[in-house]
Amino acid sequence: MRYLITGGAGFIGSHLAEKLLERGDQVVLLDNLSTGSMENIRHLKSSPQLEYHLDSIENRQLIAELVDESDVIVHLAAAVGVRLIVESPVRTIETNVNGTQMILEAAAKKRKLVLTASTSEVYGKSTQIPFREESDLVLGPTTKGRWSYAASKALDEFLALSYWKEKKVPVIVVRFFNTVGPRQTGRYGMVLPNFVKQALDNGTIDVYGDGKQSRCFCDVRDTVQAVIKLLDTERAIGEVINIGNTEEITIEGLAQRVKERTGSASKIAYIPYDKAYEPGFEDMMRRVPCVEKLEAITGFRPRTPLNEIIDRVASYLREKAALSARVVTGNLA
């Protein structure tokens, strides 16, 4: 099989590419490196089964060619991260909506299978815990830019499902819940790599808000396994499916756990949302997935414990720091 992965040099995309190549598939990556990195796929470049293009999702001609030559499209390219969303709302909306429409238009010509990535953010301020795929979405007002990402991804879902219903394009919509692991950066507000890096540096671990908000963190290996199983299952077509771990922890609890797992001497500081992001910033207090649908369709559910996830991220960041130190000193033997 030949897979096209948009956003393929990103965090999830690079791990997915790695796993598909391991099982003998052909993989084509498209990424403009706005949030992705060549470092994520450098170890894959020697594979004869890999092809990559450094270009934009908005290159209509290239998209048409790559989709036509592929059997399956995994559409991961998107503007992600709370900080990026707050700072660049126009880019967020245009990238997410225009990119998805372009992929679906190209796929519709020969009805290629498309898996499009959505997010737990679409549940917004809903208090119906755990979040189920058929639950109502409760977004904040349009005057709060923080909700533009959720709205754009919800529109992506509507687009994908409309192409399935009207044009019979086989689509799968997945809602990711805080996928974490090696290669993820804290550049745009990803909380776990930020906490781990701060802890390893023995700097202050910065908790935004009062830290009582809770999240569930899913190991990227589990996310990738779930995606592949869904792609291999006809029952997933036309469905919206949560992918996440159900182990819940408060953000202040996460900071304390990271401190303990890394043996850090860091202090935990609390920063008001207004200072961290923008005046009037809104957040959701809990975000917990129901993964019964995923398990019913694939027989799989993410189970990697949070302690193991933290240890993996810490190990990756330590190795990265050690490599950087050797580069600086010229001691790469």
Give the residue numbers annotated as catalytic, written as ranges: 149
Cα separation, 94 vs 56, whole angstroms: 12
- DSSP string for 71-124: SEEEE-----SHHHHHH-HHHHHHHHHHHHHHHHHHHHTTT-EEEEEEEGGGGB
DSSP-assigned beta bridge partners for residue 271: 208
33 is written with which tokens? 């490196």
Nearest to 294 by CA among 232, 220, 244: 244
Cα separation, 287 vs 290, whole angstroms: 10
One-letter amino acid for residue 280 of the chain: G
How many residues are there in the chain? 333
- DSSP string for 254-318: HHHHHHHHHT--PPEEEE-HHHHT-TT----SB--B--HHHHHHHS------HHHHHHHHHHHHH
Cα separation, 98 vs 167, whole angstroms: 18
